[in-house]
Structure 1
């Protein structure tokens, strides 16, 4: 069997969600997973969640995060107004397609759970070590592979990397000289810092 060569043409970006308004449509398990993903990445995100039925766990979360607004109602096109990003997590293809169509007319970015063909963007697997954040995409082909890669990176990347980032930030602010000199110096320093971090992790294993 000949496999067609295909490249991932998705453009990776990191959004400052605290500066945007997010709408989640759905009140079940999938919507809860999406909500938790958003909160783990940025708990200050302003979130409206609408659904005709909302699981009790959403109400518990809303007590912990003041930025969550729960609205018990059926979807209406007016719900998209003043929203920047839309996440659809409903078990209803016809409704999902309608929301996508409405959102496109209003120039909104949409993610529809388990329907890649309706998505403007995907929620990829995330690896985080403090200030370091790595997003993984398989172009919608295999969430399972993305999950495994997340586990591998999470295990092998040392926690000390965040300390390295903080130190490098301070050094960068203090460095004098032209751009080429700074790049060369920072490359030398990062090479040594990362080498030391991996050596520490290796010693802990032994």
Structure 2
């Protein structure tokens, strides 16, 4: 299966997560870094997930999933142990033009979750197209230690500059120069260590 790495604008998109266990908690915890427009459907939820619901004011429907519950949502994540339910929700989502991720079944998913580093507007994603999520996780941990926390402040400054300066060659050259200086300042030692 081929996956296209994209950064999707999810402003005003509604997420439905079916399930309340460990995997649902992991997916919801990751989603809250990007949106709080999340509804959870599950007859039971783990305590940590309840804490997330309270912290981010997420909606929780204490119920088994029933056909049609996904109608008012754009993206559906099925994190329930029931494989038949995963298949059923995927087919329903497809028939209604919704994106669906079934956490245990790549063949019933329109997308997969990559391992990510997010620092402000900086986002770095690692994926093995589902073949080894463990490798993606360890690569993320490695790079997380290398990427400086200062990148968040630098990007805020770049955004301010970008909005203040008129479009054109001079702005482009200045932005390029500043980005190059930032990378050289924080990554020079790594580069020299590889020589």
Aligned counterpart, 2:26 = 33
Q: Please give the alpha-carbon distance, in whole angstroms, between the structure 2 residues aligned to 1:174 and 1:72.
A: 49
Query: What is the Cα deviation at residue 96 of structure 1?
Result: 0.9
Aligned counterpart, 1:191 = 180
Query: What is the Cα deviation at residue 32 of structure 1?
Result: 1.1
Q: Please give the alpha-carbon distance, in whole angstroms, between the structure 2 residues aligned to 1:134 and 1:62.
A: 26
Which of 20, 33, 53 is equivalent to 2:44? 53
TM-score normalized by structure 1?
A: 0.83
Q: Is the 8 A contact 1:160 1:197 kept in 2?
A: no
Count of paired positions: 191
Using the TM superposition, name which of 109-118 and 15-24 deviates more. Answer: 15-24
Q: 1:160-199 deviations in whole A, cap 9, x for unaligned? A: 22222122222333435x6333322321221112222336
Q: Please give the alpha-carbon distance, in whole angstroms, between the structure 1 residues aligned to 2:2 and 2:170.
A: 34
TM-score normalized by structure 2?
A: 0.87
Alignment of 1:29-178 (within 5 A): 29-39=22-32, 41-42=33-34, 44-66=35-57, 68-176=58-166
Match of 2:72, SS state, is coil
Bigger-Rg structure (1/2): 1
